[in-house]
Amino acid sequence: MTQSLTITRPDDWHLHLRDGAMLHAVLPETTRHFGRAIIMPNLVPPVVTAAQAAAYRDRIMEAMPKGAAFEPLMTLYLTEDTDPNDLAAAHASGLITSVKLYPAGATTNSASGVSNFENVRHILDRMAEIGCPLCVHGEVTDPAIDIFDREAVFIDRVLDPIRQATPGLRVVMEHITTKDGVDYVKANDQDLGATITTHHLIINRNHILVGGIKPHYYCLPVAKRESHRLALRAAATSGDARFFLGTDSAPHLDALKETACGCAGCFTATNTMSLLAHVFEEDSALDHLEAFTSLNGPSFYGLPTNPDTITLTKGGPVAFPAKLATPDGEVTVFDPGFPVHWHVT
Ligand code: DOR
Ligand code: ZN
């Protein structure tokens, strides 16, 4: 039985770091294990221009723990008013790695997102031309569509038409939660990849709703039924290069989650690598953990893999902190509901 595993240092291809005091509190939780992360731009106000991305990058670098060799990979938040020249210059200079598409109103701080996809067609054409990937929050916002169907409907109504109309556009379906998402990626070519979160490999919708509502398991896209979780597990643990880790670790203060209208987001930065080792071992796929966390993402983005390694060692139960303290209150660390024995050393 494997008791110790050394892998290339992982990256997180979808991360929320926020700003200010929260940024300072959560950044060390990611830099402890990860080499790089794609930094989500859904601040208030959102990061829509190259100048705003540069300023946000500076704030992240100022908050960096001493000695950390972490590289934030910046993104722009796509709006119908995004200037394609500003975007192209930011991509050419290496300031941004990708652009994020939020359908307006789909999730936390997405109000400035895209309402009419025709209005961003010229921007997507330019991105295809320059090879800038588009990271997509794949849920429709049509109130007539059931929340558990919003990802599948998005693929048919929005994503597939965009990809047909914009050949060569490289797309990452972020945090897929359905078998429909897995199947769509598998049926398509090299220009399409998908991130999968840690928590969607562990919880299904029963975990959120059975025996009392669990606000810390609520995120968007919301976890689906068990058959979908199993499809995600199969995809993540398969080694298929089109699937890679994006934690979507999304900190919210407990007071804003444990309330009548709670925020969406699971905070998994602290324990993700231990949880993933547990999941991959359970599926007899520890030999594919490195592909999912450390190799497939860089390969999709055309970046080198990290030069160093981390080691996971199996031992007694890992004692994770239940909460992360911030000056404004606590953030609950994702609790998988079972003991985890893989320590990152
Ligand atoms: O659960 C989520 N939280 N999903 C998102 O898409 C956004 C994120 C956040 O920013 O809190
Ligand atoms: Zn996210």
State the Cα torsion 111-59-98-222 to the nearest 10°.
-50
Both tokens of 168, joined, read 């060569």
Determine how β-strand 12-15 pairs with β-strand 36-39. parallel
Number of domains in the chain: 1
Residue closest by Cα to atom 2 of ligand 1: 265
Q: Following DSSP, what letter does each residue of 22-71 receive, concatenated? A: HHHHHHHHHHTT-SEEEEP---SS---SHHHHHHHHHHHHHHPPTT---E
Please give the number of the atom of ligand 1 that sits closest to the Cα of 109: 10
Mean per-residue pLDDT for 182-202? 96
Above 90 in pLDDT, residue 110? no
Return the pLDDT at 108: 75
Determine how β-strand 192-196 pairs with β-strand 243-245. parallel
> What is the Å distance from ligand 2's center to 305 Cα?
23
User: Which residue is associated with the tokens 């109000």?
Assistant: 111
pLDDT digits (tens, 9 = 90+) for 278-331: 999 999 999 999 999 999 999 999 999 999 999 999 999 999 999 999 999 999
Ligand nearest to the CA of 266: 1
Above 80 in pLDDT, residue 106? no
Q: Is 308 among the catalytic positions?
A: no
Return the pLDDT at 189: 80
What is the C-alpha separation between 38 and 249, in angstroms, rounded? 11
Calculate the alpha carbon distances from 20 to 44, 172, 326 in Å.
12, 28, 10
Please give the number of the atom of ligand 1 that sits closest to the Cα of 42: 10
Ligand nearest to the CA of 137: 1
> What is the Å distance from ligand 2's center to 315 Cα?
32
Domain that holds residue 89: 4-344
Determine how β-strand 329-332 pairs with β-strand 342-344. unpaired
Return the pLDDT at 100: 98
Please give the number of the atom of ligand 1 that sits closest to the Cα of 264: 1
- Please state the pTM of the whole predicted model: 0.98
> What is the Å distance from ligand 1's center to 255 Cα?
16
**Confidence at 7, pLDDT banded by 50, 70, 90:** very high
Residue closest by Cα to atom 3 of ligand 1: 265
pLDDT digits (tens, 9 = 90+) for 229-274: 999 999 999 999 999 999 999 999 999 999 999 999 999 999 999 9
Return the pLDDT at 113: 92
Ligand nearest to the CA of 108: 1
pLDDT digits (tens, 9 = 90+) for 202-224: 999 999 999 999 999 999 999 99
Per annotation, catalytic residue among 248, 283, 287, 328: 248
> What is the Å distance from ligand 2's center to 107 Cα?
9
Which protein residues touch ligand 1 with a CB less than 6 Å away? 16, 42, 107-108, 137, 219-220, 248, 250, 264-265
Both tokens of 73, joined, read 């990979």
Reduce the DSSP state of residue 91 to 3 states and report it: helix
Give, as residue ranges, everything with CB less than 5 Å from ion ligand 2.
248
Return the pLDDT at 238: 98
**Confidence at 109, pLDDT banded by 50, 70, 90:** confident
Higher pLDDT, 107 or 291: 291
**Confidence at 44, pLDDT banded by 50, 70, 90:** very high
pLDDT digits (tens, 9 = 90+) for 162-171: 999 999 999 9
Residue closest by Cα to atom 10 of ligand 1: 108
Task: Return the CATH number at 198.
Answer: 3.20.20.140
Assess contact for 43 and 53: CB atoms under 8 A. no
Return the pLDDT at 306: 98
Residue closest by Cα to atom 4 of ligand 1: 220
**Confidence at 228, pLDDT banded by 50, 70, 90:** very high
Please give the number of the atom of ligand 1 that sits closest to the Cα of 219: 1
Burial string for 261-277 (b: 16+ CB within 10 Å, else e) reads ebbbbbbbbbbbbbbbb
Mean pLDDT across the chain, nearest whole number?
97
Return the pLDDT at 343: 98
> What is the Å distance from ligand 1's center to 107 Cα?
6
Mean per-residue pLDDT for 9-34? 98
Residues above pLDDT 70, as percent of the chain: 100
